Amino acid sequence: MKTSLKRELLDHGATVVGIADLRGFLGGEIAHLDRAVSIGVDRRLNEDTLSLLVKLEKRAVRFLKARGHRTLAIPPDSDRKKGTFISQLYSLFNHKMAATSAGLGWIGKNGLLINIEHGPRLSLGTVLTDAPLRPDLPMEHGLCGACILCREHCPSQAITGAEWSRALPFVELVKLSACRSHKATKRATDGKPNCGLCINICPYGRKETISDFGLRNEKPKAYLSLSSGGIAC
C-alpha cells in the first residue's frame, strides 16, 4: 500500500513523499492518527502551490479512505476556511515535524526543512492516518556543516546559527519576531510580504551561483562532500 500511495502522489505532482511514525507526538483528538503522509512540492509557497498541495492531500485521503482507513488532511496554508477546526490545525500541527520524521530532510540553521536534493525549496503538506503504513527512517541530525550563509545574509539578523537535532528539536534557530517584522516592513514598502532570502541562498538544491545574488561564494562542507558522492543519509 505504501509504494502505490507514493506512486499515486508522485505521478500527480508531488516531488517527494515520506511516511512518518508520529506515535507519542500527537495529543488529544488526533492521537490515534499516528502515521503521517508527508508531501513536498519543489515550488514557492504561492496560491498555485497551495492548490496543488490541497489536491495532493485530497488524493491521499481518497486513496486511504477507499482502503477503509481514517484520515485528516492538515491544510498547507493559514487562509483557507478561517475559523474552522481544520484551519486551526494549520498552526497547531507542524508540517516540518512530519517531514523530518518521514526522512524527507532535516531542519537547517534557517529553521526550514532542508531536503538533500531540493534544499529548503519544498513547500509542505501532511495527511494524518490510522493506516498501518511502514514508516521511513526519520532524520536524526542536520547536514548544514560549517555553512552559515543564511545567518550571514538574513536581512533581519533573525537566524541564530544554532543546529537542530531530533533529540533536541526546539533550540531557537530563528528569532521569529525579527523575521516577522522584516516581512511586515517589506509588505509596507514594496507590497510583497515574503522575504525568503534564507531559501534562495541555501546551497542545497540551489541552481543559481551565489554571485547571481551579488554575494560572496561559499559552500558548506557537507555540500562539498555530497557533490563528490560522499554523503549517505
Name the residue nearer to ligand B12 (CB basis): 1 or 176: 176
Distance CA 21, CA 33 (A): 10
Name the residue nearer to ligand B12 (CB basis): 161 or 169: 169
What binding mask, one character per residue, do residues 49-88 give for ligand B12 by CB under 6 A, x or -? ---------------------------x-x----------
Name the residue nearer to ligand SF4 (CB basis): 16 or 201: 201
> How many residues form the binding site for ligand B12 (CB under 6 A)?
37
Distance CA 217, CA 155 (A): 18
Q: Is 201 in the site for ligand SF4 (CB under 6 A)?
A: yes
Which residues within the stretch 154-173 sit at the binding site for ligand SF4 (CB under 6 A)?
154-156, 158-159
In the complex, the smallest distance separating the C-beta of residue 117 from ligand SF4, rounded to whole angstroms, is: 13
Could you say which of 29, 83, 170, 228 contacts ligand B12 (CB under 6 A)? Answer: 170
In the complex, the smallest distance separating the C-beta of residue 4 from ligand B12, rounded to whole angstroms, is: 25
In the complex, the smallest distance separating the C-beta of residue 114 from ligand SF4, rounded to whole angstroms, is: 6
- Extract the C-alpha cell encoding 169: 528539536
Q: Which of 96, 142, 118, 132 shows the shortest CA–CA distance to 16? A: 118
> Residue 171, Cα to own-chain centre: how many angstroms?
17
Site residues for ligand SF4 per CB under 6 A: 108-110, 114, 144, 147-150, 154-156, 158-159, 174, 179, 182, 195-198, 201-204, 220
Site residues for ligand B12 per CB under 6 A: 25, 45, 76, 78, 90-91, 93-97, 100-101, 107, 110-113, 120, 122-124, 164, 166, 169-170, 173-174, 176, 179-180, 183, 194-196, 198-199
